[in-house]
Amino acid sequence: MDLTRPQHSRTRSISAENPTGAPGQGGRAEHGTHSTAYASRELPIGWKKSPCIDLGPHETRTLADIEGPGVIQHLWMTTLPRHWRRIVLTMQWDEEEHPAVHVPLGDFFCQGWETYAPVTSVPITVAPAGGLNSYFEMPFTSRARISVTNLGPETIEGVFFQITWAQKQVAEDALRFRAQWRRSDPLEYAEPHVILDGVEGAGHLVGTYLAWETHHPGWWGEGEVKFYLDDDEDFPTICGTGTEDYFGGAWAFEDPPGAYAAYSAPYLGMPQVIEPDGFYANQQRFGLYRWHLPDPICFATRLRATVQALGFRSPVGGQERYRPLRDDIASTAYYYTGPGQVGPAPQELTLDALDPS
């Protein structure tokens, strides 16, 4: 954005303090309806009366229903980390049949294990101690709807959010933001985990997040990430050399020797490393992201993306052998396609399917 030029737009923002985002309607609540509303009982109108909402058992709550045209520029949310795999974040553009985004809240913000990890990347930032920020540009022409669903049987108290967008004209050929979540738990033996599939039409992939749990001791990241573009069938156009290579690392992310090195950079990172039994042990958990912002994966008709789970067997005759693994892999793919090119209906997400334990 060239900030020296007139923007020809107006900024609007929705929060619990201004549920519609309408001009001059912020901070008008006489009392809060959330679990901690008692804290503001002595404050006058115009002070902090309604900063958040509570989500009842199995409740779906619309956070924003916006009349277009416009572009969502920033999404900030927070609630306690233990709820991040119990809330599903859903977004729908215009009159499209299926949601464009239907993803566990934590995974969307690179937090797949209900444990806070700082992220300092360009499109996603997670600030202390659980401020979830997205800067993905999300255009819409007639309507934008954003909702959250509590999959659990208990009330989730204290869901905070702020959705900021620009009221402005949107180009007819503007692509729509999408995100697809998939999980293999456990992965079938010698089969790749599918990161993204069913995408039709022209577009580009802009990011990948993996929440990876190892089910075997030893190194787990030899598998290749592959992108099947357009007419590709059995073999891909883009084929990486290893999982840690795709996420910009090398040599098992080891630094110092015998330890994983967590890192977070503008376009790639492994901010989350959970080692309950130590380096190379069983049940390790990792969160990894890779943003294709300077280098989007562009396709003309369709896209499929996969990752292999591959480690090492015990040496035989002094030589190591690769070993296909049956790990738990959950992925979120972030991409853009044209209006109406939503792809398959998102899978039904249940508390059991999302449970990270």
Residue 30, pLDDT score: 87
| Per-residue pLDDT reduced to its tens digit, 237-280 | 999 999 999 999 999 999 999 899 999 999 999 999 998 877 77
- Listed in order, strand segments (DSSP E) in 255-327 are 263-264, 268-274, 285-291, 297-299, 302-307, 310-312, 322-324
Domains in the chain, CATH or no CATH each? 1-174 (2.60.120.1390), 176-338 (2.60.120.1390)
> How far apart are the C-alpha atoms of 292 and 290, rounded to whole Å?
7
Is the pTM value of this prediction over 0.95?
Answer: yes
In DSSP terms, which residues pair with 71 in a beta bridge?
Answer: 139, 166
The length of the chain is 357
What's the mean pLDDT when you consider all of the chain?
Answer: 95
Q: Is residue 88 pLDDT above 90, yes or no?
A: yes
Q: Is residue 315 pLDDT above 90, yes or no?
A: no
| Per-residue pLDDT reduced to its tens digit, 11-41 | 999 999 999 999 999 999 988 878 888 899 8
Q: How many CA atoms lie within 13 A of 283 on its CB side?
A: 4
| Per-residue pLDDT reduced to its tens digit, 166-200 | 999 999 999 999 999 999 999 999 999 999 999 99
Q: Is residue 313 pLDDT above 90, yes or no?
A: no
